[in-house]
Amino acid sequence: MATSNYYVPESSYFPIVASLGLIGMAAGAGGMMNHMSAGGEGFVFPHFVFTAGSLLLAFIFFQWFGKVITESRAGMYSPQMDKSFRWGMSWFIFSEVMFFVAFFGVLLYVRQWAGPWLDGQGDKGSTHMLWPDFDYAWPMFNNPAGADFPGPQAVIDPWHIPLLNTVLLMTSSVTLTIAHHALRAMHRGKTIFWLAVTVILGGIFVYYQILEYIEAYTELGLTLDSGIYGSTFFMLTGFHGLHVTIGAFILFIMWIRICKGHFTPDQHFGFEAAAWYWHFVDMVWVGLFLFVYIL
């Protein structure tokens, strides 16, 4: 319910500069990809636009979030404002969940329906006539048109790097919770330590994920071009890895803020938002480990 001191900021140059950064990134990326697919090489104008846009957006995000931190520390935010941030972050995470739902849905559809149909099974098995030699199996080592889409020779063994990564991420969730409890108990040193452990675990996860990708590309023939298995594999794990990277970066910012003594036991929503995000990224990984790697 409203209170009389809800903070409405004065006019701000952040949004318009952020829009300029975003259009630079979007138009630049579009140009870069068209240049690439047309067989072009080298650093051309779209690359410059993309780089400039990205830097501008990153710069303005630092400014923008910095301003929010300054305002927060100046006591300009009421408990009601705090609640706005909480609702905002929750719904943002919900939108991220729906982003992943789309890709998990794609995986389900391909494995449950499209694949078997191409093999002549089920209600729409007549599609088998397209590639009569195709036999459906998952992982799909032989694609319907093997010449255009050579399948992978092997896929990632879930019980090596992915299992290790599962342990790493699960542990990081625990260490993050320990850090949170320490923060609430005013044990700053302990908070700094356990949060640092969390960020490092996230970093190791990303490192192993990169190793896994290198193995996939160099040894297994599992690539973006290796048919629907590679497509779904890299889309799901890639976007997850991107989110881990972002989450670890946010936690790192929180680590710096804690070192600077920013949070109090009652007021540390920045930290909590980062923690929510991290747990969300963790939960996505559980889904990936089950449905992409094991099953």
Binding-site member from 57, 72, 77, 103 for another protein (CB under 8 A): 103
Q: Does 13 bind another protein (CB under 8 A)?
A: yes
Cβ-based neighbour number of residue 233 at 10 Å? 24
> Which range of residues in 109-117, 200-208, 213-221, 283-291 is near another protein by CB under 8 A?
109-117
Total residues at the site for another protein (CB under 8 A)?
Answer: 75
Structure tokens at 204: 């190791």
* 193/239 with CB nearer another protein: 239
Residues 47-66 that bind another protein (CB under 8 A): 64
Cα gap 293→28, rounded to integer Å? 35
Q: Does residue 22 bind another protein (CB under 8 A)? A: yes
Q: Is residue 16 at the binding interface for another protein, with CB under 8 A as the rule? A: yes
Which residue from 77, 194, 213, 229 is in contact with another protein, where contact means CB under 8 A?
A: 229
Interacting residues of 172 by C-beta distance below 8 A, sequence separation 6+: 197, 198, 201, 202, 205, 278, 282
- 94 binding another protein? (CB under 8 A): yes
**In the complex, least distance from residue 170 CB atom to another protein, rounded to whole angstroms:** 26
Binding mask 124-163 for another protein (x = CB under 8 A): x--x--xx--------x--xxx--xx--------------
Residue 188: how many other CB atoms lie within 10 Å: 14
Which own/partner contact pairs does 190-196 have at CB distance under 8 Å and 24+ positions apart? 191/258, 192/255, 192/258, 192/259, 195/251, 195/254, 195/255, 195/258, 196/255
Angle between helices 227-259 and 79-109 (to 10 degrees): 160
Q: Does 281 bind another protein (CB under 8 A)?
A: no
Q: Which position among 230, 241, 247, 270 is part of the footprint of another protein (CB under 8 A)? A: 230
The smaller minimum CB distance to another protein, of residues 198 and 241, is found at: 241
Nearer to another protein, 127 or 171 (CB): 127
276 near another protein, judged by CB under 8 A: no
Nearest distance in Å: CB 251, another protein:
22
Is there a contact between 120 and 128 (Cβ–Cβ < 8 Å)?
yes
Binding test (CB under 8 A) with another protein, winner from 39, 42, 102, 132: 102
Cα–Cα distance for residue pair 129/119, rounded to 1 Å = 9
In the Cβ-directed half-sphere of 29, how many Cα atoms lie within 13 Å? 7
Which residues lie closer than 8 Å to 273 by C-beta, 6 or more apart? 85, 86, 89
Q: The tokens of 49 are what?
A: 């636009």
CB of 64 to another protein, least distance (A): 7
Q: How far is the CB of 230 from another protein (least distance, A)?
A: 7
**Residues of this chain, 184-223, that bind another protein according to CB under 8 A:** 223
Q: What's the rounded Cα separation, in Å, for the pair 141 and 129?
A: 20
110 forms part of the interface with another protein (CB under 8 A): yes
Q: Which of residues 24-43 bind another protein (CB under 8 A)?
A: 26-27, 29-31, 33-34, 36-38
